[in-house]
Structure 1
Amino acid sequence: MRVILSLTLLSCLLAGSLSQEDPCDVKFLVTAPKIMLAGTTEKICVDLPSGSEIELAVTLEEDNYSWLRIDNDILAEVIYQMNSERECFEFEVPMVRENRQRCKLIVDVRSMPDSEESCNRSKSVMVNNDNLQTLIQTDKPIYKPGQPVKFRMMSVDKDFKPSNATVPLIYIETPNDIRLAQWVDVQPNRGLVDLEFPMTSEPLLGDWTIKVEFEDRKAERTFKVEEYVLPKFEITVESQPSYILLTDTSIDVKICARYTYGQPVQGNMMIKAEVSSYRNSRPISLYEEETGSDGCTTLAVDLTVFELRSNRHSTWNAKLKIKVDVSDAVTGESLSHTADVAKVSNDALSIRVNTPSTFKPGVPFYGTVNVNYPDGTPAGDKFIMLSVKAQETGNYRYRPIFSENFTSPASGVIEFTIPDININTTSLSINAEAPGYSDRDSANNTQYLIYNPYDIAGLSAQYSPSGSFIQIEPIRGKLVPGSTQNLNIFFTTDTAEAENLPFQFVFMSLGDLLDVPVSEALSRRRRQVNGEGEGNGKETSISFLLVLLGQGPIKATAHLKTVRDQIWNKSQFAHFLKM
């Protein structure tokens, strides 16, 4: 009999890991960062279910997968000894030849003290030399001849702390790669370098480049030098909303003309409105307006002129385009401006089912549905129908297993849970639809049909060598450092002794493994998931307590160990090497 149990636990997360299956005598789990920073100390943790004494050799070597090289240079090798169920070790990551070097982390485990046999496992990791990121900023993107170029730079580490290390070389190049200025061995002031370059009155026009060179990395930033004259006033055009539907009959467009110092322009506006698309053969509209006291006018554009629903015209990449010619009544100056103010959409809503491509049979499934307007803004207070169908082993037909109606919140994100998925399920089809928009019955054969907005996601069942699965219930909302957090974990197993299964936890924050204490158990419940309905499983109380640290975000993963120590099961967010 297969049973499912849910435990209330606390949050934790796994980085990359190595797992073990037969024929090795020693069962072990090694947890290490999947991305390592060269020149730093990383933490590697080892779990031994038996608590036996072992010798652990950890080797980091280059992963040369090119046919030109078949040998791999060993970068670091460390030997540890342990005789407890869990220990963490410091691992010095050496510098590598490339900024991003693909490497292999090899773990060799040998039982102590006299065993001749060992288990050798490996996993790919990435070692980054580029621990610092260099940021360069100019005081403006475009300069006129004779204007000084003021710029600053800063290098920050992975924790966004500024570096005070000396900058070996900073220089400026013209568009034809001539170096006009340079600074050598610049010392930052609290991590910041402020510099200025006096531009000549007759410089070479085009893209200039600021370059910064370190021993192991480079950074650059471009700016333009142009001869330009600022216009005396500017024109802005915007619509609300920034999209139009095929069924809309009008849209308000606000057009404003203001001097560069902010005062309104008084004058005349000649306006041309059209819908541009792949086949641009639609009629156009012309308007003439006077600016108001604020320099603006609001124009109600008649959309019926553009025959939006006629299938004689293409709706692909269709946009409402407004061209405005403004004449200043005071100075006589004229200025033109063209803008795409609204896109044409066939659907009143954009619905997207956000789920992974796979699911775990026998445990709850969690997903979200994003409901937005065509311009991407969240659509709240919208009625959405969600339905789920499942395909099971030996049956090619999909059968309904779940349905629920939702009203989208102000964020437009609907969170849903599929509580019961048969352990024999092989595929899921999740459909989200907004009813009430279709007019297929009233439309004629010269019009585009309007359909209900919808989205469908297809998922396939994950594979587990043990046939068991573990699922962490998502945490809704934000976590507060210093607080405690409960987390439900669901898992399936064949064994009748599942109530006594121990859990191991690994915590990670900003890529670093943390030592975080977890208390005793909180609660446990049991039910059957063999497709025959609920069972009378025994209920047990357990408790776990985790205090969230103030070091940044903490993510969580739990590792399930079977009673017979056959495997370490794959858990959410964890990447295991099959062994």
Structure 2
Amino acid sequence: MALHLLCLVLITSVILQTVTSSTFKSIYLVTVSSEVVGGTTEKLCAQVHQVTEPLSLKVSMEMEGGSSTILLEAAVTKDFYRCTSFQVPTVKTDSVATVHVSIKGRKDEMSKKTKILIKPKRFLTIFQTDKPVYKPGQTVKFRIVSLDASFLSFNQMYETVELQDPNSNRIAQWLNQSTVSGILDLSHPMSAEATQGSYIITAWNEKGEQTSQNFDIKEYVLPKYEVKVHLPQTITILDNQATLRVCGKYTYGKPVLGSVTMKVCRNAIQHHWLYGTSNICELYIMKTDKTGCATQIIDVTRFALNYSSFDDFEVETEMEEYGTGVILKGSGKASFTNVIVTVCFEDVPQAYKPGIAYEGKIKVTGPVSTPIPNEPVYLFLRNSGTSENWTLTTDSKGIASFSLDTSLWSSESVSLSARYQKVREDYPYMHGVRRPGYKSAYHFARKFYSKSNSFVKIMQGEGKFSCEKDGIVLARYIIQGEELMKGQKTLNFFYLVSRR
């Protein structure tokens, strides 16, 4: 099997088709997206290589109904490369089209076909009211925004927009309203006797598709100030302390001075077969400082952290304003976890190619997915009954990168594991008691099949590529000598770079 063409493709949705024959020395390649959206513009690229005689190239697309469109037609007399844009037919439902490619010489002809999926154009309609709750007599202002699948604004007409009250009575209607730059602004004054409850706005576009949005009308009095409870998102069973903070602020932003009563509980999980377990609660009395906050460091070991018969950590507070006696309440919740560290693999290939470095990353995070920097992590490899291990160190983002030599890998699959602890600590089992968890990562990589034992691999780039700037992409390859034709001294690599 002679190796005539290697193509490096940087987008998985592109289909590659190459054809050669024993009598037809030229080869060609056509790329087109395997999934496209109706009504949009797509790009098709074609290449012909090793041209030894005049050729004619034709690429066409046939719809399920039988209609056909020529996408590219050219006479080829030398090495050829061209990209062309084409309009994807508009469809109402998912449709399949067939792309036909043919190339003709004086005597021989080659052809190939492949199917692509055409999806109907999707649109997104967003409602936004100027506030979620109105008082009777206020004017309801709302906006309808139309976006396409790329989140770009587009104009469309809404045949009907209506407003219904809580009793499903239509109280307002707008007909044939068009967006401007994708936006339609409407408003409706509510009467002072408007029924309190939930109202609904519904819009129908020209296709009959509808979108709705609710808002409420009710009499309400804004609170004089608000109370917020700040506590850790997660508390682990190895923690000893946790800092809780209760803050009060007036609606105009100034801090509230007053006293705070805080009740901290870990409620028992009640089962019909389990009796006698009581909630664990502690009461704290505090005063706000000049910032309007009261801070308390609590001893969380008093809340049976490692016992599974208790629920999450709940806080209820009351703040009383000095001078007025106005009391407002606040609450908060924090979860408990026994997972101390989580290790996972990132950017690891599903297959390895013998002779080409196997590269990947190990990510180490804490209980709330925060990266753990500058810590050792251990990588283990099993290959054909043999074992190897390496000690890596995480960077500031909790990432440890690795590159493994695959020259001696011979088994059909290898197993990788990564652990935070090189030797697992043995915590004795006790009923109802949670043990600290250090989640390890596991990955299996199969040997990449290549009849010729030739390989090419695009290496992972560093970060994201920026527009209008050069980017470096590295490719590693192994080409067996017998793959070259007799007398061939050079090997051409072709690549296609695409973006979405």
Same fold, judged at TM 0.5 (above): yes
Q: Which runs of 5+ in 2 are unaligned?
A: 1-5, 271-276
Mapping 1:166-181, distance limit 5 Å: 167-175=158-166, 177-181=168-172
Q: Does 1:94 align with 2:89?
A: yes
User: 2:224 is matched with which residue?
Assistant: 232
Match of 2:402, as an amino acid? F
User: 2:274 is matched with which residue?
Assistant: none
User: 1:136 is matched with which residue?
Assistant: 127
User: 2:394 is matched with which residue?
Assistant: 407
Q: Which runs of 5+ in 1 are unaligned?
A: 1-6, 62-71, 511-579
Q: Does 1:58 align with 2:57?
A: no
Aligned with residue 364 of structure 2, among 354, 365, 371: 371
Mean CA deviation greater in 301-310 or 74-83: 74-83
Mapping 1:23-422, distance limit 5 Å: 27-51=27-51, 53-61=55-63, 72-74=64-66, 76-78=68-70, 80-82=72-74, 83=76, 84-98=79-93, 101-112=94-105, 115=108, 119-130=111-122, 132-157=123-148, 160-164=151-155, 167-175=158-166, 177-201=168-192, 202-203=194-195, 205-215=197-207, 218-239=210-231, 241-276=232-267, 278=269, 281-310=278-307, 313-314=308-309, 318-340=311-333, 342-356=334-348, 358-362=350-354, 363-390=356-383, 395=384, 397-400=385-388, 403-409=390-396, 411-420=397-406, 422=408
Distance 1:421 1:335, change over 3 A: farther
Distance 1:172 1:76, change over 3 A: farther
Contact 1:208 1:225 in 2 (8 A): no
> Partner of 2:339: helix, strand, or coil?
coil
Q: Does 1:505 align with 2:480?
A: no
Quote how far apart the aligned CAs of 1:298 are: 0.9
Distance in 1 (alpha carbons) for counterparts of 2:156 and 2:434: 64
Identity of aligned residues (%): 23
Aligned with residue 413 of structure 2, among 427, 432, 445: 427
Quote how far apart the aligned CAs of 1:177 are: 5.0
CA deviations on 1:150-203 (whole Å, 9 max, x unpaired) are 122333456655335555444334455544333334344444332212223313
Quote how far apart the aligned CAs of 1:502 are: 1.4
Quote how far apart the aligned CAs of 1:36 are: 1.9
Distance in 2 (alpha carbons) for counterparts of 1:10 and 1:164: 39
Distance 1:398 1:184, change over 3 A: farther
User: 1:472 is matched with which residue?
Assistant: 458
Match of 1:461, as an amino acid? K
Distance 1:472 1:251, change over 3 A: same
Q: How many residues align?
A: 475
Contact 1:387 1:404 in 2 (8 A): no
> Partner of 1:305: helix, strand, or coil?
helix
User: 1:520 is matched with which residue?
Assistant: none
Distance in 2 (alpha carbons) for counterparts of 1:96 and 1:189: 25
Match of 1:96, as an amino acid? V
> Partner of 2:302: helix, strand, or coil?
helix
Distance in 1 (alpha carbons) for counterparts of 2:495 and 2:382: 34
What is the TM-score of this pair, normalised by structure 1? 0.72
Distance 1:193 1:55, change over 3 A: same
User: 1:455 is matched with which residue?
Assistant: 441
Mean CA deviation greater in 244-253 or 79-88: 79-88
Distance 1:269 1:365, change over 3 A: same
Quote how far apart the aligned CAs of 1:282 are: 5.0
Distance in 2 (alpha carbons) for counterparts of 1:420 and 1:229: 70
Contact 1:144 1:228 in 2 (8 A): yes
Q: Which has the higher contact order (CA 8 A, sep 6+)?
A: 1
Distance 1:489 1:277, change over 3 A: farther
> Partner of 1:424: helix, strand, or coil?
coil
Distance in 2 (alpha carbons) for counterparts of 1:440 and 1:197: 68
Match of 2:494, as an amino acid? Q
Distance in 2 (alpha carbons) for counterparts of 1:42 and 1:176: 49
Quote how far apart the aligned CAs of 1:489 are: 0.5
Match of 1:492, as an amino acid? I
Larger strand proportion of the pair:
2
Distance 1:406 1:11, change over 3 A: farther
Distance in 2 (alpha carbons) for counterparts of 1:224 and 1:465: 67
Quote how far apart the aligned CAs of 1:251 are: 0.9
Quote how far apart the aligned CAs of 1:73 are: 2.2
Distance in 1 (alpha carbons) for counterparts of 2:407 and 2:174: 65
Match of 1:399, as an amino acid? S
Distance in 2 (alpha carbons) for counterparts of 1:453 and 1:408: 19
Match of 1:289, as an amino acid? M
User: 2:3 is matched with which residue?
Assistant: none
User: 1:519 is matched with which residue?
Assistant: none
Contact 1:438 1:450 in 2 (8 A): no
Distance 1:413 1:123, change over 3 A: farther
Match of 1:327, as an amino acid? E
